[in-house]
């Protein structure tokens, strides 16, 4: 029956009604999985054996899970010494004036800025384009070794969008986004009562989307404006 199915999607659809197909496939491919796992289990990276993990069991599909074991969802203060030291080493590069572009995190979808001492050449732009297309970058990751552009290592998916993302030096090539989730639209307008009230007291109100506001988040503000009170006559 399978040979009559011309596409993989057609086989998947048929397997919904033929549960024995799925069981037969898993049984037939098990030797291949064990062979590949065995080979990776014998490999080492800088003297450390690679860890080989089994796939997610079917019992977990559809079950509510949290992000406890996801590295990029750690508390924003839980950084490794290596990550902090790397940012200290690159502190001369990690300045707003040296931001060249931003890469969206493949997990939280927040933009994270890339920094370089010089403008990127065509070959580097091409590598950056591929990284963006693959959506393989995750908050805190480093870019390919030997490349001039660096990222901030002490950033996690739980970290807000950097304040410098909204600076005048990058405003011309980086679109505005919500400071909490990175959404590039559906912002509270300046005519909104909440936002307009903030503007009477502060010179800068960072973009916030309606969803984050509905969750109880407040807009990030900066530059308190002091208004002189009129003297009573």
> Which residues is 114 bridged to in the sheet?
101, 151
Q: Which of 69-78, 164-173, 209-218 is predicted most confidently?
A: 209-218
Mean predicted lDDT score pLDDT of the chain: 83
Task: Answer yes or no: is pLDDT of 126 > 80.
Answer: yes
Q: pLDDT digits over 151-192, tens only?
A: 998 888 889 999 889 988 888 888 999 999 999 989 999 899
Write out the E strands in 80-198: 99-104, 111-115, 150-151
Task: Answer yes or no: is pLDDT of 230 > 80.
Answer: no
What is the per-residue pLDDT for 7?
Answer: 73
First to last CA, the chain: 94
For residue 67, give the DSSP letter: S
Q: What gap in Å lies between CA 137 and CA 153, rounded to an integer?
A: 12
Q: What gap in Å lies between CA 205 and CA 199, rounded to an integer?
A: 7
Write out the E strands in the chain: 44-45, 48-49, 99-104, 111-115, 150-151, 202-205, 221-224
Query: 164 with 171: CB under 8 angstroms?
Result: no
Secondary structure class of 12 (helix, strand, coil):
helix
Look up the pTM and report it.
0.63
Confidence of residue 228 (pLDDT cuts 50, 70, 90): low
Q: What gap in Å lies between CA 109 and CA 202, rounded to an integer?
A: 28
Q: What gap in Å lies between CA 175 and CA 113, rounded to an integer?
A: 12
Q: pLDDT digits over 17-62, tens only?
A: 777 877 887 788 889 988 998 898 888 877 888 888 777 777 777 7
| 79-83, 85-89, 169-173: the lowest-pLDDT one | 79-83
What is the per-residue pLDDT for 192?
Answer: 93
What is the per-residue pLDDT for 143?
Answer: 83
């Amino acid at each position: 029956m399978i040979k009559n199915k011309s596409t993989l999607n057609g086989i998947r659809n048929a397997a919904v009604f033929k549960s024995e197909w799925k069981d037969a496939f898993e049984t037939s491919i098990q030797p291949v999985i064990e062979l590949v796992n065995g080979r990776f289990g014998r490999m080492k990276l800088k003297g450390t054996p690679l860890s080989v993990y089994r796939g997610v069991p079917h019992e977990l599909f559809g079950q509510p899970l949290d992000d406890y074991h996801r590295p990029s969802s750690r508390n924003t203060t839980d950084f490794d010494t290596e990550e902090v030291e790397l940012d200290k080493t690159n502190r001369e590069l990690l300045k707003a004036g040296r931001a060249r572009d931003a890469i969206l995190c493949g997990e939280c979808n927040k933009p994270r800025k890339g920094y370089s001492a010089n403008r990127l050449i065509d070959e580097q732009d091409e590598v950056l384009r591929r990284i963006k297309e693959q959506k393989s970058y995750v908050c805190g990751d480093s870019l390919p070794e030997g490349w001039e552009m660096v990222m901030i290592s002490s950033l996690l998916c739980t970290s807000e969008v950097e304040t410098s993302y909204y600076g005048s030096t990058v405003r011309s090539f980086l679109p505005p986004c919500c400071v909490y989730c990175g959404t590039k639209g559906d912002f509270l307008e300046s005519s909104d009562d909440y936002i307009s009230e903030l503007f009477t007291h502060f010179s800068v109100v960072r973009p916030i989307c309606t969803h984050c506001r509905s969750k109880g988040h407040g807009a990030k503000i900066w530059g308190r404006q002091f208004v002189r009170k009129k003297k009573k006559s």
